[in-house]
Amino acid sequence: MTKNLDAVGDGLAAFTLTELLVVVAIIGILAALILTAISRSKEKVQLTECAHNVRQLGLALQEFVTDNHRYPLFVNPAYSKDHSSENKTAWLTALEAILYKGDPVHGPAIRYGKGVWRCPAAPRLGDDLSQFACYGYNAYGLSPEKNLRSLGLGGEFMWGKGPNKGMAPAVKDSEVINPSEMMSLGDGFVGGSDVVLDNRWLLWRTYGLKDPSGKTKRSYARHQGKANVAFCDGHVEALTLKSLLVDTNDAALSRWDRDHKPHREDLMP
């Protein structure tokens, strides 16, 4: 027995510092690989959960369009005057009424940051759920503010003057030329090739934004630089932020506008 213990001791003595460091390094590499695999698996699960949410919102939008033959307004200032009452106060309250129709517990109140309105990969900023915007509406299309007429889904004249400002008339379902290629809503990103802001009730390709808080980096970290987007026919795609907000080919641009045209004239020179 003593001889055996001596042999073990001799073996440990023969185990050099270099060999020990090699073993430690190998263990560290294996741990890093395992953690990376776990992180990627978690991100894939979050992307899938988010896609489910976007699909549910897209189906609610389809039901609204089927019932009313028009798309919900982005905002509806005339709601208090009982005008366009089916639109509620905004596109999200209109969809909420579809999602929780007949629900005696939740009723028509928006559950900001909860349920299908909550992207699991989006950072929660504070406790004010009214400011927690995970998903946005393609209300404007590519239309810049210089154009009074909007080519998105949120209303014909998003920047109109007088009583039409930000609202009526609503976009008819017949105005969407190619529903399977027209984006309707998705992860709430706003921006272009330089700056991308998250946590917006809009899905909008635009320019000239400022980013003093590093939100662009945060946006690209969400879903590994992708965005879940629903189309007017109800299907959902995971698009890269590059294809969504940067690419200028016909296919990328025409997906924004209901006439299914690229409208390069609306891009920043």
Residuewise pLDDT in 10s, the chain (269 residues): 545 545 445 554 556 777 777 777 777 777 676 666 555 556 778 889 999 999 999 999 999 999 999 999 998 877 766 667 788 888 988 998 888 775 544 444 455 567 888 899 887 665 554 556 799 999 999 977 667 778 999 998 776 555 555 567 899 999 999 999 999 999 999 999 999 999 888 999 998 899 988 899 999 999 989 999 999 999 999 999 999 999 999 999 999 999 999 999 888 76
Cβ burial of 243 (10 Å; 0-12, 13-18, 19+) is middle
The model's pTM: 0.80
What are the residue ranges spanned by the domains of the chain?
16-266
Would you say 124 and 113 are in contact if contact means Cβ atoms under 8 Å apart?
yes
DSSP structure string for the chain: -HHHHHHHHHHHHTS-HHHHHHHHHHHHHHHHHHHHHHHHHHHHHHHHHHHHHHHHHHHHHHHHHHHHSBPPPSB-GGGGGTSSGGGTTBHHHHHHHHHTTT-TTTTT---TTSGGG--TTSPP-SS-GGG---EEE--STT--TT-SS--SSS-SBTT-SGGGTTBPSPPBGGG-S-GGG-EEEEE--EE-SS-EE-S-SB-EE------TT-HHHHHHHGGGTEEEEEETTS-EEEEEHHHHHT--SHHHHHTTSTT----GGGS--
- Name the nearest CA neighbour of 246 among 181, 197, 187, 196: 196
State the CB neighbour count (10 A cutoff) for residue 218: 16
Q: How far apart are CA 79 and CA 75, in angstroms?
A: 9
Would you say 39 and 221 are in contact if contact means Cβ atoms under 8 Å apart?
no
- Name the nearest CA neighbour of 136 among 53, 35, 217: 53
**For the chain, how far is it from start to end, CA to CA, in angstroms?**
86
Structure tokens, 246:
């940067």
State the CB neighbour count (10 A cutoff) for residue 177: 14
Quick: pLDDT tens for 181-227: 999 999 999 999 999 999 888 999 998 899 988 899 999 999 989 99
Alpha-carbon Rg for the chain, nearest whole angstrom, is 25
Quickly tell me which residue has 């009313």 as its tokens. Answer: 68
Cβ burial of 267 (10 Å; 0-12, 13-18, 19+) is middle
Structure tokens, 12:
């440990």
Q: How far apart are CA 79 and CA 171, in angstroms?
A: 17
